[in-house]
Structure 1
Amino acid sequence: MNFDFTNSNTAYSTHCFHTYPAKMIPQIASALLDEYGKNALSLFDPYCGTGTTLVEAATRGIKSYGFDLNPLARLIANVKTTQIEIQTLDLHLKDFYDYLFAFRFGYRNNRHSIIVPEFQNIDFWFSRAVKHDLSIISEYINHIENVQVKNFFKVALSQTIRECSWTRKNEFKLYKMSAERIKIFKPDSLSICEKILGRNRNGLSDFMESRANFAEPLITGDNSIFKIPKKIIPEGSVDIVLTSPPYGDSSTTVAYGQFSALANQWLGLRDHGRSLDNELMGGIKSKVISKFKSPILNEHINDINKIDQKRVLDVVSFYNDYSNSIKNVSKTVKLGGFACYVVSNRNVRGVTLQTDTITKDFFENVGFKHVTTYNRQISSKRMPRQNSANGTKGEKNPLMNTESIVIMQKVC
């Protein structure tokens, strides 16, 4: 199979709705479903993020289940897989544009009727003008009675919040722009939101036209590290698991919570992003070094421990959670069913953690056989390509520039 999608449109259908860290390219999910989910009736993504695999499953008539701890990710995933009649949406969009017109041209008193939310450090991340304009948008959304349409608007507001804040746009962690950049950064929040809504409207239209035998997914905040409720997903009921798990703990790799913090707070979904990162895989730090049923992982841990006895515990914490998650996920898969994991081999203190092999080992220990592993170059990532393994200037080590797609099949 060819997984080179360098020149492909990865923002088709509802995949265009919102940016998110380390998103799976939809063409990968599509290709894997075509190859390993030809006859699948059910799909499970235990780390579904904003729902890339769920969209692809929904348009094929495959019933899907998605877990994610981040409420913003769940909101986006739900909206991306929700059917809204375009005529209904267009009526709300016209009404919204008329509403903004009234503010722009002074037909409404926009100085006293708008309530700006209050949360920690809001003035650190937003200018006074942006806060006011975002509050105008929030005011309209709060009065939408149709829940599906309201959530559609919330997703557009979330993307607008990110684009109009003083966060660095090439980072996922919460880093503020330089003072020089802030001086010239004057976003028109209302126009940006209008543009996002228009783009998402067209994406939804494509989604509505492409669905052949639509199946609505079930998306929850359950955590596969601890358990998978049998009432939601009975054991042995899933034909295919298709997912891209975190590459490492959020504090040192992709900070999903920090990325979502401002939108989560503005929308009232969650208080603080850094606390969310502590709840994600590897967030609870281990105090001792564990032994794993993966010889290569034990070698990696031994090598890192010789260099940094504190940092090695981060690695142990992550793989403890990863192993537990795979053990729980494996129970949901039917005999003969597949698990397709898109992973990347990260670098810690100069040691390359071979997560592809570790994933294979973990699954083989719970009744799966290895089918194959595909490797692909990551053509576009908003993450560093290199870092300094030991903090020494000039000494660089490669980070996650390639992905591995590990295919496992349940045999017992």
Structure 2
Amino acid sequence: MSANIDNTPHLSTAEVARLAGIHKDTLLRWLRAGSVQEPRRDRHGWRHFSTAEAERIRLFAKSADASLPTQPSLQSDIPHLGNLDRIDWDFAGAKTNYLTHSIHPYPAKFIPQIPNALIQELSGVGDTIGDIFCGSGTTLVEALTLKRHAVGIDANPLACLISKVKTTALSEEDARLLASLADEIRTMGEAIDRNASSPLLNVDIFKSKSWRPSYDKLEFWFQPDVIEELAEIKERCNALTSKNSRDLALVAFSAIIVAVSKQDSDTRYVRREKGILPGETCKRFARTLDQTLRVAAEFTELAEPRFNCKIVEASLLQAPDVPQLDLMVCSPPYPNAYSYHLYHMTRMLWLEMDQPKFKKEEIGSHRKYSSKAKTAATVDTFRTEFNAIFEWLKDKLKPGGFACFVVGDSTLRGERINNADLISAAGAGAGFKEVARLTRNMQATKKAFNPAIGKIKTEDILILENRAGE
């Protein structure tokens, strides 16, 4: 038992379940059904029960009215939408980089507390949770840790790789191989540093014989010594003997590329000199790999093998084949907000991914919408794309299942666009009914490629129910 900020003792969901002699998932079902009263939540979204609330639940569990199974059910309960109004969706000050959520920079991802709360309230243990714009896998990680199956879809091959790494349990052998690689690259970086800082030794500048992208602007975006170190690191990542270890190493490799490039930052696509010192690229990779290994180990301890994750690299406009979903939670791209193909360009070059193909398929791209050409995307483009997405989704989401969209407004040619309205209308055309719309304040640190987006301070959590066929 711990205490709240006001020094009132409180208990966690697991502690109350133990006190009542029931399984934690049983208590969660009662809370969703409204059978027992919801407690307050802390700023991280965790429930805090008072001792009086815990005692009432213990008595309820003993009563004849509480004759529910005490083991996790694999059947979804009818969700209690009223509980959603009791949640403080701002989650101000909440820690958002726990577990594998801290792996790899990724723009515009939503905080994990949002899908966590939606999954808890709108699904049951064993359900299949989908994210049709899975990005770096935030929803997928939360689904697995909440004992659900997960399905993620994204047209971005880098997003799919990051999501795969974030949701994959790491074997002891893979962890050993990766720790050895981190030590190897760190030692190499220290040697390069020593040689470069000792000119009297007359040692040649480090040169790698390994592959590097065939790109005429490579030295425009990278210092020559950084190119040599990146080439050597990638070669050694690819030499790992298991696919899971290779994937994790390549994600750690991708994570440092913008930092050691001449791109200003992860959200500013302008060039500036950074003066990366010899050996620093190798040492930065080793530190990133160490950190990635640590959080992957934490996820591995928590995740259960019986719950699996499927990741599909595809455009939604191609109607990909995926398992049936019980709940869908996503943060879709906003029109004119980000250009992921641009943000990830140098990463995709080094990882040998098809960036031009993704550029054509990307929905909501800032470059498509900000173009002055006659073929520039418009609000009608976004509407048409979502009409097609809902026609596909109505057959993939179970009847009565909920589709949740965390979406903000955007600005297009000086006009503010209410994207929640656009998505709701597109859903209605395919048989989806809006059942809830919640507004939350966004964190002040959120950045965008399009400065107009940075001025928008709130976003909506739009919940639609699949009533197609009624």
Instruction: Tell me the TM-score normalized by structure 2.
Output: 0.72
Match of 1:300 in 2: none
- The gaps in structure 2 that reach 5 residues or longer are 1-86, 196-202
Q: How far apart, in 1, do the equivalents of 2:164 and 2:274 lie? A: 37
Matched, 1:352 2:352: no
1:157 corresponds to 2:253: yes
Q: Which amino acid aligns with 1:115?
A: S
SS in 2 for 1:65: strand
Determine which of 119, 128, 150 is the counterpart of 2:224: 128
Residue matched to 2:88: 2
CA deviation vs aligned residue, 1:46-81 (integer Å, no higher than 9, x gap): 111111111111222322221111111111011111
- Corresponding position of 1:115: 210
Give the C-alpha shift of residue 311 in structure 1: 8.9
Contact 1:26 1:56 in 2 (8 A): yes
The structure that has the greater radius of gyration is 2
Matches within 5 A, 1:29-108: 29-39=115-125, 41-86=127-172, 88-102=174-188, 104-105=190-191
Report the AA paired with residue 227 of structure 1. A
Q: Pick closer, same or farther for the CA change 1:155–1:94 going to 2, 3 Å.
A: same
Deviation at 1:21? 1.6
CA distance in 2, matches of 1:183, 1:71: 28
Deviations 1:219-245 (A, max 9, x none): 11222223132xx33xxx321011111
2:448 match: 383
Partner residue in 1 for 2:267:
171
Give the count of matched residue pairs: 367
Task: Summarize the alignment of residues 246-265 of structure 1 with structure 2, pairs less than 5 Å apart.
Answer: 246-248=333-335, 252-265=336-349
Which residue matches 2:363?
281
**1:248-327 residue pairs with structure 2 within 5 A?**
248=335, 252-270=336-354, 272=355, 276-281=358-363, 313-327=377-391
1:374 pairs with one of 407, 418, 438: 438
Residues 131 and 312 of structure 1, relative CA distance in 2, 3 Å threshold: closer
> Structure 1 regions of 5+ residues with no counterpart?
287-307, 388-396
Contact preservation (8 Å) 2:155, 2:362: yes
Name the CA distance, whole Å, in 2 between partners of 1:150 and 1:137. 12
Alpha carbons 1:116, 1:131 under 8 Å: kept: no
Tell me how far 1:253 sits from its aligned partner.
Answer: 2.2
Kindly indicate whether the alpha-carbon contact (under 8 Å) linking 1:282 and 1:319 is maintained by their aligned counterparts in 2: no
**Contact 2:383-2:426 within 8 A present in 1 as well:** no
* C-alpha distance in structure 1 between counterparts of 2:306 and 2:130, whole Å: 16
Given candidates 17, 23, 35, the residue that maps to 2:103 is 17
Distance 1:183 1:210, change over 3 A: closer
C-alpha separation between the residues in 2 aligned to 1:228 and 1:334? 16
Instruction: Work out whether 1:407 is the aligned partner of 2:463.
Output: yes
Superposed displacement of residue 360, structure 1: 1.8
Letter in 2 for 1:371: V
1:223 is matched with which residue? 315
Equivalent-residue separation in structure 2 for 1:334 and 1:170 (angstroms): 38
Counterpart of 1:141? Answer: 237
- Report the Cα distance in structure 2 between the residues aligned to 1:66 and 1:138, rounded to whole angstroms: 26
Q: Which of the numbers 271, 285, 291 marks the counterpart of 1:193? A: 285
**Larger relative CO (CA 8 A, sep 6+): 1 or 2?**
1
Matched to 1:336, the amino acid is G
Verify: 1:341 aligned to 2:405, yes or no.
yes
2:287 and 2:310 map into 1 onto residues whose CA distance is: 29
How far the C-alpha of 1:212 sits from its partner, in A, is: 4.3
Aligned to 2:317, what secondary structure does the other structure show?
A: coil
SS of equivalent residue, structure 1 residue 105: helix
Structure 1 runs of 4+ aligned residues shifted over 6 Å read 106-110
Q: How far apart are residue 183 of structure 1 and its match?
A: 5.8
AA matched with 2:466: K
What's the CA shift for 1:282? 5.3
Deviation per CA, 1:123-162, whole angstroms, max 9, x where unpaired?
Answer: 1110011111112211211211111001100000001112
For the residues of structure 2 that align with 1:79 and 1:47, how far apart are their CA atoms? 17
CA pair 105-198 structure 1, distance change in 2 beyond 3 A: same
Shift in Å at residue 276 of structure 1? 2.4
* Aligned residues of 1:346 and 1:354 also touching (Cα < 8 A): yes
| Structure 2 CA distance for aligned equivalents of residues 183 and 54 of structure 1 | 35
The percent of aligned pairs where both chains have the same amino acid is 26
The 1:319–1:400 alpha-carbon spacing in structure 2 relative to 1, beyond 3 Å, is: farther
Aligned pair in 2 of structure 1 residues 195, 309: CA closer, same or farther (>3 Å)?
closer
